[in-house]
Structure 1
Amino acid sequence: MAKRSAVKSKKTTDGINPRQACPCGSGKRYKACHGLTGGPVEVPVGRPFEGLAGECELIALREFVPSATAPLALSVNTDRAVTLSTVLPMAAAALVRADGSAFVGLQVQTRSSDVGRDLARALRWALDAKPGDVLSVVGPETEDGERERLQDLLDVKAELNPTLHSDFSWWLPEDEEPTGEVALSLERANQAIMPTERIGPAAYWVDAGDRAHLRWVRPEPEEQLLFALARLHAKGELGLGEGSRYAGSFRAHGLLVPVWDLDREQHAREWTTQAEELGARLDEALASLEKTPLTSDERRARDGLISRQVTIR
């Protein structure tokens, strides 16, 4: 028994138990992740978009909106307009068209522990690149590399107003036909797209095939939002009406994203009013928390909601 205990408590030179979850957030044990590769452990930045008025929209566009674009309000001096995109051809990090218009992609492989910093580096590249250039990936950062974050390059008070697209035809100018790898990438992307509509700020209706969902990125601190959701749940007011039910929530980049199952026979726009009414009930419940603590029924409801949480980032 003594020998077995010694093995369990053995730690690496980093002071990390090999059997514990890797601090990088991969979900793997340390010994099967950074402990195996011998690489340094970089703990991901919890809220890479914190401080930006468009934080919730950025998370939605990165995590589950398939095809969308949004103009960026830059805080740096430049004559070049830059468009934020969910996905670019070949999952590029950024590109500049022949006409000089620039695009930066959100759904790309990250190369550091800070998604916001990687995006800022792609944006800085797009501001300086020549027409026709493509940045496939954001390269590895050196010790004396650029430390800018997205918050350093954008107007932090500017809201993000995305335009959703039914396919990825916007990848190319109107008079240009896709060829080669771009054509194949475009075909694959269009085949995989799930119909999605924005029915409110950071609130998206998604048709997942067998059912539809409402995925709503909320700006409130997780504990506070859970308390408000529990208060509504205990009162039977957490749904959006007939044909809906609260499914659970997931964490993404430091914020909570509640999810509702919806009757997919109803059009997305038929849920807009119900979503607005639910938002009003949530605001009222959040305000009531300052004066009234949770009751025993509401605490039980909160525990049930917590059991249906997952983390994806």
Structure 2
Amino acid sequence: MAKRTAEPRPESGISPRQPCPCGSGKRYKACHGRAGGAADVIVTRPFEGLAAECELVALREFVPSATAKLPVREGREVTLATVLPMAAAALMRVDEKAFVGLQVQTRSGDISRDLARALEWVQSAEAGTSLPVVGPETAEAGTVPNRLQDLVDVDAKLDVELHDDFSWWIPGDTEPTGEVALSLERANAAIMPTERLNAEGVESAYWVDAGEKAHLRWVRPEPEEKLLAALARLSARGELALGEDSRYAGSFRAHGLLVPVWDLDREKHAREWEQPAAELGTRLAEALESLDSEPLNAAERRSRDGLRGRQITVR
């Protein structure tokens, strides 16, 4: 039997057969170790490893106008924003305040890598300039571009500030003109009233007024199957709602995480749902813990099958 010849290590020193450091889940030789890099490799959970993962998913997917200071390891202070003028990837305002946008068009399969490149751009950008979109990756084989996880404190959480409009785009008393003014008008018209619930044990949960009804959208960090099982346990017990005038609507997937959604009575203020959400959070935590010793019974399995089919679309 012929001996297998060990594959030589590239200049990077990374074995071709080991997982690529970019987090794609592919072997290095099939990802950044091949010619042209990995612009087409899809990373399904781009924010994994960050303490702010759930918050980043919310800001990327459905929070309209919000900002948060990025915990950058080196360089100038940078503000993370949901949306920037004309959907720019990054912006250096005329007052030299730096912003990186989350809700932008992407050119690669890894949002974290695109954000890192926007963050690197803004560190040396001139005042009054913007990065329209992060272009295609051109990294040479043997190099692994930075990801957001490489440039920020992974253990830091985000202090999110919600805004009623996008007036923070413009510094001071500056009057917007041209395309910026038009972009500002359109962005303000599209905002749905949104509030972040602040209660013990409740994180990355947002009340959203969608017009005919309000919703609670709660980004959860647990593996999807385990979370579905815990939700099914509560559903079988009749404990999945947030009380009267609410019902579990379904869930959607976003960047590797599951986001359960509840329909709410929009006549109630967002703050009135904080205590019910905290109580639901406690029940959910107990259900998650119980799964380690108590498998789902027949009724709970049927409930899980029903919940799995209730996928919704967020607009």
Alignment of 1:71-110 (within 5 A): 71-75=69-73, 77-78=74-75, 80-110=76-106
Out of 145, 151, 154, the position equivalent to 1:153 is: 151
Q: Hey, what's the Cα distance between the residues in 2 that align with 1:299 and 1:146? A: 43
SS across alignment from 1:249 = strand
Distance 1:298 1:61, change over 3 A: same
Show structure 2 runs of 5+ residues with no match: 1-37
Letter in 2 for 1:94: A
Distance in structure 2 (CA, Å) of the matches to 1:119 and 1:172: 22
Deviations 1:105-148 (A, max 9, x none): 00000100001100110011011212222111101111328711
What one-letter code is carried by the residue in structure 2 that aligns with 1:107?
Q
Deviation at 1:234, TM superposition (A): 0.3
Letter in 2 for 1:109: Q
* Percent identical residues: 71
Which shifted more, 199-208 or 50-59?
199-208
Contact 1:88–1:94 at 8 Å: present in 2 too? yes
2:219 equivalent in structure 1:
217
Report 1:174-189 matches (<5 A): 174-189=172-187
* Divergent runs of 4+, >6 A: none
Q: CA deviation at 1:309?
A: 2.2
Counting only pairs closer than 5 Å after superposition, residues 157-172 of structure 1 correspond to structure 2 as: 157-172=155-170
The answer to whether the Cα contact below 8 Å between 1:82 and 1:102 also exists between their aligned partners in 2 is yes
The match for 2:129 is 133
Q: For 1:142-199, what per-residue CA distance to the aligned partner results, in whole angstroms no more than 9, with x for missing partners? A: 1328711000001000001110001101111122111111001000111111000000
SS of 1:128's equivalent?
Answer: coil
Q: For 2:172 and 2:148, how far apart are their aligned partners in 1?
A: 30
**Secondary structure of the corresponding residue to residue 309 of structure 1:** coil
Report the AA paired with residue 93 of structure 2.
Answer: R
Aligned partner of 2:287 among 285, 288, 298: 285
Q: 1:251·1:310 contact (CA, 8 Å) conserved in 2?
A: no
> Which letter does structure 1 place at the counterpart of 2:49?
G
SS at match of 1:261: strand
Shift of 1:42: 3.1
Amino acid in the other structure paired with 1:162: V
- Separation (CA, whole Å) in 1 of partners of 2:183 and 2:255: 27
Q: What TM-score comes out, normalization by structure 1 length?
A: 0.84
Deviation at 1:41? 9.4
Cα distance in 2 between the residues matched to 1:188 and 1:293: 50
Look up the equivalent residue of 1:182 and give its one-letter code: V
Q: What CA distance in whole angstroms lies between the structure 2 residues aligned with 1:41 and 1:237?
A: 45
Match in the other structure for 2:296? 294
Output the aligned Cα RMSD.
1.5
Distance across 1 between alignment mates of 2:81 and 2:177: 21
Query: 2:269 and 2:235 mapped to 1: Cα distance?
Result: 25
1:249-285: CA deviation from partner (whole Å, max 9, x where unpaired): 0000000000000000101111010001100110000
1:23 maps to which residue? none
Aligned length: 271
Give the corresponding residue for 1:198.
196
Letter in 2 for 1:132: G
Distance in 2 (CA, whole Å) between partners of 1:110 and 1:285 is 38
Task: Provide the TM-score with structure 2 as the length reference.
Answer: 0.84
- Aligned equivalents of 1:44, 1:247: Cα separation in 2: 29
1:310 is displaced (CA, Å) by 5.2
Change (3 A) 1:43 1:299: farther
Q: Using the TM superposition, name which of 130-139 and 235-244 deviates more.
A: 130-139
Contact 1:65–1:86 under 8 Å retained in 2: yes
1:276–1:256 distance in 2 versus 1, CA, 3 Å: same
Give the aligned partner of residue 28 of structure 1: none
| Pairs within 5 Å for 1:5-24 | none
